[in-house]
Amino acid sequence: MVVGDFPIETDTIVIGAGPGGYVAAIRAAQLGQKVTIVEKGNLGGVCLNVGCIPSKALINAGHRYEEAKSSEHMGIKAENVTVDFTKVQEWKESIVKKLTSGVEGLLKGNKVEIVKGEAYFVDANTIRVMDENSAQTYKFKNAIIATGSRPIELPTFKFSDRVIDSTGALNLKEVPKKMVIIGGGVIGVELGTAYANFGTKVVIVEGADEIIPGFEKQMSALVKRNLKKKGVEVHTKAMAKGVEETKDGVKVTFEVKGEEQVVEADYVLVTVGRRPNTDELGLEQVGIEMTERGLIKIDKQCRTSVPNIYAIGDIVEGPALAHKASYEGKIAAEAISGHPSEIDYTAIPAVVFSEPELASVGYTEKQAKDDGIEVIAAKFPFAANGRALSLNATDGFMKLVTRKEDGLVIGAQIAGPNASDMIAELGLAIEAGMTAEDIALTIHAHPTLGEITMEAAEVAIGTPVHIIK
């Protein structure tokens, strides 16, 4: 029974405290709004709790173990290297706890009211927040919906103890002897690499022609080659058919080139995409327009068809990336405050923490040509860089895409160590309207991987020093 549910008034209410929601709430508060944020789970959302952060911790731990076992070529030999996976999980969780408590501190420090519970729209200025024991009504001037997404469940692969999603894969109690992964996209490849480094026999089943289909083939081919070196079986153009759970594992059936195969494993991880969390918010109560895929339609300021309600992150069009959600959160908060901020995805980076790492920003060579832009695609290999050689990580290249008429940097792709960090300089170059010559004239410290950016720019302007033209 709800007693005395008097509406609480606030300027802006944010639904969801993931990397989109909590950033939006903080920016709105900084701009003078009275802000309330509603979260049904843990602060930080999927990204901090069961996504970006814990997966990178697991990937790093896997790297450490693999390196400890295989550094003899450097004269470093370790015997009886073991994994205490319970300790690995405890370490991973300690990182998550630090970050989520940090988010709570940031929200409170910016005087954002934090409310636990599920939000449901009553009308365009009212929501009800419910938890197990009570319900409370909130009246607001503006709302930002940032409810994120969840893994897609296949009808033939219903989630269970042995049929797991990415959350399940991040929280296993032991290193599996064998794992089948349905879906060779970013999540499948990242987690597959991590477990392969821990010694798991991994089988990846991908329906597309290549793994990581969002990246250029010459980039994904490097990752595929490295996976195979680790003993990972990669099946592309393959169709997952079904799973049978056994006493202590699974039997997974899939089809490749017309042939049916059955693989036994401890677990099957299903990573075939994510579904927007827009179905239990009462959006129909306020008449918010949706796409056929269940995404919320927004304008350039993240405003929905209802003028005082905004939407950001995985629930709107575009890639499901944490940094995209954070960026949109700032735009929405600023738009509510009357700023002329608008979304511009020109320089939004995409990254895969594979081996080697992949990163891309702006145009690819093909996309530029498809749009009728004449470009120069300048490549520089990691193998010609002193720092890469000293790291024993020479796989890969940087490709700089510049406009032929004036050398303007319009895109870049990197496959190699630290690609995830190196791509930021290229994003800045695109945002700042820099040319290849601007980058080539920028002094880069030696010896660093960052020099590769300068070297690729020199290739673009026709004056390479460390490779023969």
Mind telling me the catalytic residues?
A: 446
Distances from the Cα of 109 to the Cα of 17, 27, 64, 114, angstroms = 15, 12, 36, 11
Q: Are 247 and 142 in contact (CB under 8 A)?
A: no
The number of residues in the chain equals 469
Dihedral angle over CA of 430, 323, 316, 131, nearest 10:
-170
User: What's the start-to-end Cα distance of the chain, in Å?
Assistant: 77
CA distance 220 to 413: 12
CA distance 398 to 370: 21
233 exposed, middle or buried (CB, 10 Å; 0-12, 13-18, 19+)?
middle
Half-sphere exposure of 54 (CA within 13 A, CB side): 25
Which residues, in sequence order, are CB contacts of 3 under 8 Å at separation 6+? none
**DSSP category for residue 407:** -
CA distance 371 to 381: 27
CA distance 111 to 336: 18
CA distance 318 to 333: 19
CA proximity to 169, closest of 29, 62, 251: 62
Structure tokens at 140: 């607001």
Q: Are 317 and 291 in contact (CB under 8 A)?
A: yes
Beta-sheet pairing, 249-256 with 135-145 = unpaired
Helix (H) or strand (E) holding 367: helix 365-370
Helix (H) or strand (E) holding 263: strand 259-265
